[in-house]
Amino acid sequence: MSKSSEINIDYVANLARLALTAEEKSQFSQQLGDILHYIEKLNELDVTQVEPTAHAFPVCNVWRDDVAEPALPVEEALQNAPAQRDHMIAVPKVVE
């Protein structure tokens, strides 16, 4: 997956819900390919002695106690919604 030729730009665009022009597709294929090529450099490092990690910092178990705090008033919670009805956010119908 490190070569730009292997990037299926239509598939990636669809997953991201992006509609791209033919020009953009070509441009972004090139750019994504360059990024992946750059990241490839990491493979040159010998990491056999390094433990895999999801984070750069050796920190774990960051949590809080189970204490409930006040909710947002519903008017505030919904103030950014493009459309609302009956105290709910209204979106285009998502089932047939």
Q: Which residues bind other proteins (CB under 8 A)?
A: 14-15, 17, 54-55, 57, 59-72, 74, 77-78, 83, 85-96
**From the CB of 66, what's the least distance to other proteins, in Å?**
3
Question: What is the spatial distance between Cα 81 and Cα 79, in angstroms, rounded to a whole number?
Answer: 6
Half-sphere exposure at residue 89, Cβ-oriented, CA atoms within 13 angstroms: 9
End-to-end, the C-alpha distance of the chain in Å comes to 36
Q: In terms of CB distance, is 23 or 68 closer to other proteins? A: 68
Closest by CA position to 30, among listed 5, 11, 1: 5
Q: In terms of CB distance, is 19 or 67 closer to other proteins? A: 67
Q: In terms of CB distance, is 41 or 93 closer to other proteins? A: 93
**From the CB of 95, what's the least distance to other proteins, in Å?**
5
**From the CB of 2, what's the least distance to other proteins, in Å?**
17
Question: What is the spatial distance between Cα 25 and Cα 80, in angstroms, rounded to a whole number?
Answer: 32
